[in-house]
Every structure is written in C-alpha cells, then in structure tokens.
C-alpha cells in the first residue's frame, strides 16, 4: 500500500467514527496517517513518542532516510525548507509546530535541535522524564498542546522509544530509553483523555536480532497496545464474585 493510499484509508475509517490503529515498519508511515487524520480533524494535536524527533528536512538529514523526516513534510512552518519531491505532490502540510509534543527523545541531530529551539516545540527528553516523572511530563504535554482537550489527538509511538532491553528488534535502537512499564503508563494515561482517534505503532522489525529479541519486541508492542485499550495490571472481577467455600 502506498502512502497516499494509507492516507485515504485512514480518512475513510475516521469518517466512519472509528479509531484508527496503524501498525508499521518505519516511521515514514506517519506522513500518511497524520495527513489522513488531519483531513478529518483540521485542528489536531500530535504526541510523538520516540527516541528521535524525526523532523529533519531532506536537506538536513545526514542519513537520507525518509523515516527521519516525516514531521518536516507535515508542518506548515517548515515548508520553505522542504524541496518538492516527485511522488509527493499529494502531500499538503497540515499541522503546526505548536501542536507537536515529543516524549522520550534522546538522539537529536543538530538540525533537529535547531528546529526544536527555533519553533519552541514541546519536547521532553529522557532526562526530563527522569527528573519530573512520567505523570508530570504528560500533564505538561497536554497543557502545552491541548490544554482544554478540545482537539483530537494522534499518538505516534515508535517502539525505539523503549529501551533496547525491552525492544531490541528495531532499526535504530538507542540506549537509556523508557521502561516497558513507563511506556504502558504513558499510553494508558493518554487513552484516558478520550481524545485519541489515531494511533501509530512503528519500527518493529521481526527480522532483526535473535528469536528471543524478536519475541521480546513483539511482546512489548502488544503490551503497549493492550494498555491503550484498557488492559490494567489489576485483575478485573465480575460484580457477583464471591469467595468459594470449602
């Protein structure tokens, strides 16, 4: 499926009143999912949970990998710095830098640092999480990009936001990341806003690493999704449960 087809499908599902969950390979997929989401919700908040900000432009990227650039294609303020690329004529900038929040970043390129500082993009690094705690970070995130909760939220979760101990089978692992429990708590709390209508879960690569690595990564990804959709650590009991007597 091409990016433009993904965008159209996301739009179609959202217009039916459903929440879209998109499982991907690399993070370039979010170019399409956010684009499709923004065609339905013209005022959208983006929570980008990732080891990397992925806001390089094609002219600043050292690697040339498009999965490190998706937000530059989508943000209106960066369009003067983004060249027109063949095959991307359908893609129109649809979000503002003021509506983006990064959580868990710890590998930031020089140009990305410049862009974040120039446009004052809400950013919480792993040091911020260590210092403030995840609950405070999320409260400040919502206050910055969606204080009245009047906007729908697109949550883009890169599995490399987790520490490689929990998600080793990914293309660009970065040490000292989120614990699995921190990642689960984060999506649990975001879900409780009842404003999330689009979710990406990306950068899971089951071809990388040992069989144990692959199992660990896929299991972590599943737990993140379960947490978003209501799985909690406490056991749910039926209302009529009673202790059995001997």
Q: What pLDDT score does 218 carry?
A: 97
* pLDDT category of residue 63 using cuts at 50, 70 and 90: confident
Q: How far apart are CA 54 and CA 72, in angstroms?
A: 8
Task: Pull the structure tokens for residue 192.
Answer: 């409780």
Is 107 annotated for ligand binding? no
Angstrom distance (rounded) from CA 99 to CA 141? 10
Q: Is 52 annotated as a binding residue?
A: yes
Residue 213 annotated as binding site? no
pTM summary value: 0.93
Contact present, 67 and 26 (Cβ < 8 Å): yes
- H or E element in which residue 6 lies: helix 3-15
Fold annotation for 3-228: 3.40.800
Distance between CA 173 and CA 188 in Å, rounded? 23
Catalytic residue numbers, as ranges = 27, 50, 52, 54, 67, 158, 160, 203
Both structure tokens of 62: 């050292």
215-233 residue pLDDT tens? 999 999 999 999 999 877 6
């Amino acid at each position: 499926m091409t990016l433009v087809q993904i965008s159209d499908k996301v739009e179609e599902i959202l217009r039916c009143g459903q929440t879209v969950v998109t499982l991907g390979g690399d993070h370039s997929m979010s170019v399409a999912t956010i684009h499709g989401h923004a065609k339905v919700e013209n005022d959208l908040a983006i929570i980008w949970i990732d080891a990397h900000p992925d806001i390089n432009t094609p002219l600043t990227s050292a690697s040339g990998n498009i999965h490190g650039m998706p937000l530059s294609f989508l943000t209106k303020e960066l369009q003067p710095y983004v060249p027109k690329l063949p095959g991307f004529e359908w893609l129109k900038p649809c979000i503002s830098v003021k509506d983006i929040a990064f959580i868990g970043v710890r590998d930031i390129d020089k140009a990305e640092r410049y862009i974040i500082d120039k446009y004052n993009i809400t950013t919480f690094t792993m040091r911020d999480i260590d210092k403030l705690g995840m609950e405070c970070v999320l409260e400040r995130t919502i206050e910055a990009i969606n204080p009245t909760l009047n906007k729908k939220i697109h949550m883009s979760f890169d599995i490399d936001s987790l520490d490689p101990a929990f998600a080793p089978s990914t293309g660009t692992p970065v040490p000292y990341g989120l614990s699995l429990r921190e990642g689960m708590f984060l999506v649990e709390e975001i879900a409780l806003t009842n404003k999330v209508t689009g979710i990406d879960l990306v950068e899971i690569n089951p071809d990388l690493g040992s069989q144990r690595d692959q199992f660990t990564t896929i299991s972590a990804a599943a737990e993140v999704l379960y947490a978003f959709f209501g799985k909690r650590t406490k056991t749910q009991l039926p209302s009529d449960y009673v202790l059995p007597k001997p």
